[in-house]
């Protein structure tokens, strides 16, 4: 039997725990995604390395965003199916209506496909700005699907929403602050169009996770209880109470603990019942977003996980609302949720290649210093021969002492750079020997626990963390990351992933583990001299990552392709070329034509000064233009 098989990798990287049945390994040791054939409905595993091979043959470079239409379709099915099951099981008399918050991923393809796949469920859209409202009105024409308008609204926003209502769309304007209500009433009367209104409430129930401050008395958005009552009174005074149809709260994103969700829904249900008792017709209870994704596969209440399933989430929400309404003898409302992350997270995988490695382990003994070398070099060389299971602490302390002395001697000018380099090679060789012995011991002395971490390699990846994985940098979000191939080989190198932004924060050094997190990712040895690419994938990146990214070092959007199965054949569609150098320069107010003209004048001056020939000027200008029109990332 081989010493390492794909099943070992499946367990090591937690593929079964976070993959949700969508991702797996095949017998060739390659990561696969399971997609449904659009014609037959049969599920087919697709090798991601084969997809990459097809894209590189077509001339596309890394990094590359792979989008999976089928996973978007299935997530909408699973969410609606869970609520339909819960409604039937509980005998709930209301309905369920999901809406997708466009802010989670505003890409045109995402909004178009959600509108297409969601038709059979009357699945709607939520928008929080004028641009998002325009996108919603262009793609959502189903009168039975909701368009929820959150965010702060000026007259343009209000007028457009009212006119869309007049055209037969089901648009609900949600009050975020009291000052919006007079504007809505005035514009409604001026246009002669009655709105449908909602109220966003500021819950007292606190949340958990990264976005705990989204709830509670000090949350930024929504009306407090006094403002809600004032709103009711203003609506009554203006004969607009009949327009109040929806009650809404938003507890936060990525809510890991089902208990805090139930507490919030219980409070919201009480307020909903009270609004009905005030005489408002109501009918919709919008429980907001927050449905979590189990990024780390731990099924816990940690910030990157969830201690509940989709079925449990739906059942608990239905049960809580039903119980409150039954006690008050109020009709069961249509339940609305704004689940975005749980819908689109699985939709995208970011694929990138490794460019180079800096390794600190030195398995082979370096050259020995000459007998007339400085005593400190001779001393550290002597430690190499003394390393044994019985002398690990002693050798560690001695080598650390001699290394620091050698550095001090270099600073004083006593030894040269070549001698310092030899001393540090000997030090890292000693650390490598000690680490090898420690792996065979049951107990590791406290002083030696950091050796493995100190020997961690830097794998330089062809990506920008700030552009493609901003949450990993900004809030410590954990994303599953693993090699896409070579899973018949044991990944023996502990690694930190460094990007190409030349920024000390441009790295990923926290990774998922079975119990908590680890400070390195096990990877395979990278041998660039063999000429074989080494590909990694960052999974569950469909939510927020594609639109939150910035232009650090002017590295732009990566290339994109949509992957599907049609008639049993792999189909690569919706190819979107990533930003060129010219594109990103225009984002920061440069004019590419002006840049070229300026450089051309400098090149001509160089010809006149005799620094280059006219022919060399031509070659240089061609190189300038090619770079200007090229990809912002590393290209072979």
Active site residues: 502
- The secondary structure of 91-123 as a DSSP string is T--S-EEEEEEGGG---HHHHHHHHHHTGGGT-
Radius of gyration of the chain from its Cα atoms, rounded to whole angstroms: 30
Strand, coil or helix: 44: strand
- Whether residue 472 contacts residue 529, with contact meaning beta carbons closer than 8 Å, is answered with no
Pull the structure tokens for residue 503: 């920024």
The three-state (H, E, C) secondary structure of 494-523, written as one string: EEEEECCCCCCCCEECCEECCCCEECCEEE
The rounded distance, in Å, linking the Cα atoms of 146 and 286 is 11
Please choose, from the candidates 28, 30, 37, 36, the residue with its C-alpha nearest in 3D space to the C-alpha of residue 15.
30
The rounded distance, in Å, linking the Cα atoms of 171 and 126 is 10
* Helix/strand/coil percentages in the chain, nearest 5: 45, 20, 40
Peptide linkage before 63 cis (omega within 30 of 0):
yes
What backbone phi and psi angles, to 5 degrees, belong to 631? -70, 145
Where is 384: in which H helix or E strand? Answer: helix 375-386
Q: By CB neighbour count within 10 A (0-12 exposed, 13-18 middle, 19+ buried), where does 305 fall?
A: buried
Please choose, from the candidates 585, 460, 580, 610, the residue with its C-alpha nearest in 3D space to the C-alpha of residue 528.
460
- Whether residue 268 contacts residue 276, with contact meaning beta carbons closer than 8 Å, is answered with no
- Whether residue 309 contacts residue 273, with contact meaning beta carbons closer than 8 Å, is answered with no
Where is 6: in which H helix or E strand? Answer: helix 6-12
Which residue is associated with the tokens 């327009």?
A: 243
The rounded distance, in Å, linking the Cα atoms of 140 and 111 is 9
- The secondary structure of 402-469 as a DSSP string is HHHHHHHHHHHTSS-HHHHHHHHHHHHHHHHHHHHHHTT-S---GGGTTHHHHTPEEEEESS-HHHH-
Q: Give the rounded distance of the alpha carbon of 598 from its chain centre.
A: 39
The CA-to-CA distance between both ends of the chain, in Å, stands at: 38
The rounded distance, in Å, linking the Cα atoms of 605 and 612 is 9
Which residue is associated with the tokens 């209506």?
A: 97
Please choose, from the candidates 16, 173, 100, the residue with its C-alpha nearest in 3D space to the C-alpha of residue 337.
100
The rounded distance, in Å, linking the Cα atoms of 151 and 155 is 13
Please choose, from the candidates 123, 76, 125, the residue with its C-alpha nearest in 3D space to the C-alpha of residue 97.
123
Pull the structure tokens for residue 478: 């954990």
E strands, 236-333, where? 244-248, 284-286
């Amino acid at each position: 039997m081989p010493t390492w098989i794909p099943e070992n990798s499946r367990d090591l990287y937690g593929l079964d725990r976070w993959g949700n049945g969508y991702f797996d390994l095949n017998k060739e040791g390659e990561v696969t995604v399971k997609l449904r054939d659009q014609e037959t409905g049969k599920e087919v595993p697709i090798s991601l390395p084969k997809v990459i091979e097809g894209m590189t043959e077509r001339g596309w470079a890394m990094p590359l965003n792979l989008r999976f239409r089928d996973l978007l379709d299935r997530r909408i099915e699973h969410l609606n199916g869970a609520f339909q099951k819960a409604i039937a099981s509980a005998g709930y008399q209301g309905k369920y209506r999901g809406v997708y918050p466009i802010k989670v991923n505003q890409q045109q393809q995402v909004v178009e496909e959600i509108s297409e796949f969601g038709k059979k469920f009357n699945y709607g859209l939520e928008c929080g700005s004028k641009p998002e409202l325009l996108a919603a009105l262009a793609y959502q024409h189903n009168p039975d699907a909701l368009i929820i308008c959150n965010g702060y609204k000026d007259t343009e926003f209000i007028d457009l929403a009212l006119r869309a209502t007049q055209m037969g769309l089901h648009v609900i304007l949600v009050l975020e602050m009291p000052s919006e209500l007079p504007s809505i009433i005035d514009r409604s009367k001026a246009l002669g169009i009655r709105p449908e209104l909602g109220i966003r409430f500021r819950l007292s129930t606190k949340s958990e996770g990264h976005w705990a401050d989204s709830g509670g008395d000090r949350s930024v958005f929504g009306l407090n209880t006094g403002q809600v009552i004032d709103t009711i009174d203003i609506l009554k005074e203006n004969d607009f109470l009949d327009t109040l149809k929806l009650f809404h709260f938003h507890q936060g994103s990525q809510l890991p603990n089902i208990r805090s969700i139930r507490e919030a829904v219980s409070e919201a249900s009480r307020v909903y019942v009270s609004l009905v008792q005030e005489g408002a017709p109501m009918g919709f209870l919008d429980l907001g977003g927050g449905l979590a994704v189990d990024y780390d596969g731990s099924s816990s209440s940690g910030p990157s996980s969830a201690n509940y399933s989709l079925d449990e989430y739906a059942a608990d929400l239905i049960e809580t609302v039903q119980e409150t309404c039954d006690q008050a003898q109020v009709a069961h409302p249509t339940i609305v949720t704004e689940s975005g992350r749980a819908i689109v997270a699985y939709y995208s995988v970011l694929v990138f290649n490794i460019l180079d490695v800096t390794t600190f382990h030195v398995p082979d003994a370096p050259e020995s210093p000459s007998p007339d070398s400085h005593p400190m070099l001779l001393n550290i060389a002597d430690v190499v021969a003394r390393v044994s299971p019985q002398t690990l602490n002693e050798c560690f302390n001695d080598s650390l002492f001699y290394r620091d002395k050698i550095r001090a001697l270099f600073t004083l000018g006593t030894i040269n750079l070549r001698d310092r380099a030899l001393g540090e090679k000997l030090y890292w060789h000693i650390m490598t020997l000690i680490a090898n012995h420690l792996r065979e011991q049951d107990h590791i002395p406290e002083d030696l626990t950091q050796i493995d971490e100190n020997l961690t390699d830097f794998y330089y990846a062809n990506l920008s963390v700030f552009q493609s994985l901003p949450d990993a940098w900004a809030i410590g979000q954990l994303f599953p990351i693993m090699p896409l191939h070579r899973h018949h080989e044991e990944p023996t190198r502990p690694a930190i992933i460094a990007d190409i932004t030349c920024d000390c924060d441009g790295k990923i050094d926290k990774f998922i583990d079975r119990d908590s997190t680890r400070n390195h990712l096990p990877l395979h040895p990278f041998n660039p001299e063999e000429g074989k690419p080494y590909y990694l994938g960052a999974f569950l990146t469909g939510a927020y990552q594609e639109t939150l990214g910035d232009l650090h070092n002017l590295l732009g959007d990566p290339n994109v392709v949509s992957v599907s199965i049609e008639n049993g054949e792999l189909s690569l569609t919706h190819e979107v070329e990533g930003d060129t150098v010219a594109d990103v320069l225009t984002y920061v107010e440069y004019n590419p034509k002006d840049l070229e003209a300026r450089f051309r004048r400098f090149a001509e001056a160089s010809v006149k000064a005799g620094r280059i020939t006219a022919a060399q000027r031509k070659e240089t200008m061609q190189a300038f233009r090619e770079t200007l029109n090229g990809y912002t990332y590393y290209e072979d």
